[in-house]
A and B are shown apart, each in its own frame.
Chain A
Amino acid sequence: MREFWVFVRKEFYHILRDRRTMMILLIMPVVMIILFGFALTTEVRNVNIGVLTSEPDHAVEQILNRLDASEYFTVKERLDSPDDIDRKFRGRELDMVIAFGDHFSEKVFDPEGAAMQLVVDATNASMAQSYTAYASAIVAQYQQDMQPGAGRKGIVPNVVLMYNPQMKSSYNFVPGIMGLTLMLICALMTSIAIVKEKETGTMEVLLVSPLRPIHIIIAKMIPYFTVSCVNLLTILLLSIFVLKVPVAGSMVALCVVSLIYIIIALSLGLLVSTLVDQQIIAMLFSSMLLMVPTILLCGMIFPVESMPEILQYFSHLLPPKWYIMAVRKLMIAGLPVSFIWKEIVILIVMAVLLITISLRKFNNRLE
């Protein structure tokens, strides 16, 4: 066993002495969390509103005050004519225009209702949807405050945003980033680490030694497993304390699922390393075959449900999909473990399969 631990120590030396790789390994998850959590957000914030009204109106002012007071909207300017809307949108000066009908205050209490129109720049469809939903909610709230218990409540759809009541997009991104980072670090780094030994010729020397291939493989995996656990911890701490995403479900279950997923990613890396001989190819292979599907097909950015059917079937084969699903249920929905048994079973089966295949494929010789 001593030779095994000496091997593991050597692997740690490789990682610790390559400062750049170390930085990438440890800082990348932090950068990704912060980027996705803050910059690439689909949250409604700082939406500039233009107003189109024909005359000064009491109710209009009250609604505008409410919108302006919310953290989402800023009432930027009053427009003179509907013709200005297009120009303002194109100039990116405004994101939404609210047009109020004539005699708005009077008609609010009319059975016919008051006319109000929300015009949104819908180039980003999902954002546009959020703007209108937010604005409608504020208007509806106003209406209810004015006429508590009155019969017009039913007109405004009663939208309830479950699990993510503020529609914080970071809630959605955190599981995705966990799936992505762990895949990247485990799969990419392990495959590079093994292929590097092939490329520099040290694998040749290692093979002609009493070391068993399985020992070489496990010794290679242990350091990256450790690094991944550190990353998991960083991601969780950052999302809880910086992005304020609560872990609603069981922390233990979350860690167990993550560990299974890390093992899957490690064996994927191993599998890649048995197929290629050059570090650069291993890198391309891992990023094209593992990263891109993880980002695009596993519900990280686009919901799996809205993809064409054939891609949906394909996504069933991707481990990150199940992992992200399980993490969403555990972290955000706060469901008990009994709701994710399916994901856990699928992930375990995938892990066993991948380890078996990659061990089979690992070559005892050079050919």
Chain B
Amino acid sequence: MKAVVVDTIHKSYEGGIRALSGISFDADRGELFGIIGPDGAGKTTLFRIMATLLLADEGTCRVDGLDVVDDYREIRKRVGYMPGRFSLYQDLTVEENLGFFASVFRTTIAENYHLVEEIYKQLEPFKRRRAGKLSGGMKQKLALCCALIHKPSVLFLDEPTTGVDPVSRKEFWEMLNRLQKQGITIIVSTPYMDEAKLCDRIALIKNGQFMSINRPMDIIRQFDLPLYAVKGDDIFRLLHDVREYKGVDHCYVSGESHHFTVADGAFDSSALLTQLQQKGHSAVRIERVEANIEDCYMRLAKD
């Protein structure tokens, strides 16, 4: 039995805003499934439907073999849900928050301590501190502990690493990999493309539609165009000038450089370099690069 099955879900809000149009996917037991896309793509709506908080206009969704509409009460007992924004009690201490959520799910901290131990160990020195006074990374770790304390079979994490420093983000993903090994299915969303490769499979979402669902490696392998990266001192003017150049198909910002694809194999990077230098650009470097998930996303989003 699949842990999560989503079948052609449609959802519109009042005022005719289409949040989701025809989303389908399924996740196996113990799978770490990532939903990758920018803000406003419909990730949170999808999570709320899976977590029984919203009703879809069309389509069905089953979690643990149970229907999210008919069996919502049973689902609520066995899933863990961590909403996008920090949703714990700021005026309760770390320990009180965890204890509260443990009791709400009819268990105790002691009973499932082994599940949260790795994460909670880092929080333990601050256990008498109010949750509102924790750093962003610590807050998310506490929220994860609270979502895990009842040993859920499926864990829904809506943008758990947004607003978290890079070190904590890395730690957070390591935790998810460990939890996965314990047989917990994890559905996670993120706007950070670099986190995608840490998932077993990912779905790239744009405007309420999945553009591609596959293993991260397979998605990258499907990228069949030559890809270049260009850097320079005046990065903003550079973007404009590269786009002007005949033969450059699609150029976009990627981190500290610009990535661009070219229309055909006849592209000569040294000709572009010469032209850019003529236009007064300094320290220009052009190199052939391997595509990453972001490049795949940009390519798919363009079509």
Interface residues of A (CB under 8 A from B): 2-3, 6-7, 10, 13-14, 17-18, 200-202, 204-211, 364-367
Given the complex, which residues of B lie within 8 Å of A10, measured CB to CB? 89, 92, 96, 100
Q: Would you call B86 and A14 a contact (CB within 8 A)?
A: no
Q: Would you call A205 and B87 a contact (CB within 8 A)?
A: yes
With A17-B91, A200-B90 known as contacts, the answer to whether A208 contacts B104 (CB < 8 A) is: no
Q: Would you call A2 and B53 a contact (CB within 8 A)?
A: no
Residue B76 interfacial (CB < 8 Å): yes
Compute how far the CA of A13 lies from the CA of B51 in the bound complex, rounded to whole angstroms.
28
Compute how far the CA of A3 lies from the CA of B96 in the bound complex, rounded to whole angstroms.
13
Compute how far the CA of A326 lies from the CA of B267 in the bound complex, rounded to whole angstroms.
91
With A2-B103, A2-B106, A209-B76 known as contacts, the answer to whether A204 contacts B53 (CB < 8 A) is: yes
Q: Would you call A6 and B100 a contact (CB within 8 A)?
A: yes
Residue B215 interfacial (CB < 8 Å): no
Compute how far the CA of A308 lies from the CA of B87 in the bound complex, rounded to whole angstroms.
50
Q: Would you call B81 and A208 a contact (CB within 8 A)?
A: yes
Residue from B48, B101, B104 within 8 A of A366 (CB atoms): B48
With A6-B103, A365-B55, A367-B54 known as contacts, the answer to whether A208 contacts B91 (CB < 8 A) is: no
Q: Would you call A208 and B76 a contact (CB within 8 A)?
A: yes
Given the complex, which residues of A lie within 8 Å of B73, measured CB to CB? 210
Compute how far the CA of A131 lies from the CA of B103 in the bound complex, rounded to whole angstroms.
65
Residue B85 interfacial (CB < 8 Å): yes
- Distance in angstroms from A219 CB to nearest chain B CB is 10
With A209-B76, A365-B55 known as contacts, the answer to whether A202 contacts B103 (CB < 8 A) is: no
Q: Would you call B87 and A202 a contact (CB within 8 A)?
A: yes
Given the complex, which residues of A lie within 8 Å of B96, measured CB to CB? 10, 13
Q: Would you call A210 and B89 a contact (CB within 8 A)?
A: no
With A2-B103, A2-B106, A367-B54 known as contacts, the answer to whether A205 contacts B83 (CB < 8 A) is: yes
Q: With CB as the reference atom, state the residue of chain A lying closest to B152.
A: A208
With A13-B96, A201-B85, A202-B88 known as contacts, the answer to whether A208 contacts B51 (CB < 8 A) is: yes
Compute how far the CA of A364 lies from the CA of B70 in the bound complex, rounded to whole angstroms.
13
Given the complex, which residues of A lie within 8 Å of B90, measured CB to CB? 200
Residue B153 interfacial (CB < 8 Å): no
Residues of B in contact (CB 8 Å), total 32
Residue B190 interfacial (CB < 8 Å): no
Compute how far the CA of A204 lies from the CA of B45 in the bound complex, rounded to whole angstroms.
13
Compute how far the CA of A205 lies from the CA of B53 in the bound complex, rounded to whole angstroms.
10
Q: Would you call A210 and B52 a contact (CB within 8 A)?
A: no
Compute how far the CA of A366 lies from the CA of B73 in the bound complex, rounded to whole angstroms.
15
Given the complex, which residues of B lie within 8 Å of A209, measured CB to CB? 76-77, 101, 104-105
A-B pairs with beta carbons under 8 Å apart, 6 shown: A3-B104, A6-B103, A14-B91, A209-B104, A365-B55, A366-B53
Given the complex, which residues of A lie within 8 Å of B79, measured CB to CB? 208
Given the complex, which residues of A lie within 8 Å of B146, measured CB to CB? 205
- Distance in angstroms from A95 CB to nearest chain B CB is 53
Residue B72 interfacial (CB < 8 Å): yes
- Distance in angstroms from A328 CB to nearest chain B CB is 40
Given the complex, which residues of A lie within 8 Å of B88, measured CB to CB? 202, 205
Q: Would you call A201 and B83 a contact (CB within 8 A)?
A: yes
Q: With CB as the reference atom, state the residue of chain B lying closest to A211.
A: B104
Chain A CB within 10 A, most for which of B99, B103, B105: B103
Q: With CB as the reference atom, state the residue of chain B lying closest to A216.
A: B104
Q: With CB as the reference atom, state the residue of chain B lying closest to A364.
A: B72
Compute how far the CA of A13 lies from the CA of B91 in the bound complex, rounded to whole angstroms.
8
Residue from B55, B83, B106 within 8 A of A210 (CB atoms): B106
Extra 10 A-B pairs, beta carbons < 8 Å, given A10-B92, A204-B83, A205-B101: A3-B103, A6-B100, A14-B91, A202-B89, A204-B53, A205-B147, A208-B51, A211-B104, A365-B53, A365-B55
Q: With CB as the reference atom, state the residue of chain B lying closest to A367.
A: B54
Given the complex, which residues of A lie within 8 Å of B51, measured CB to CB? 208
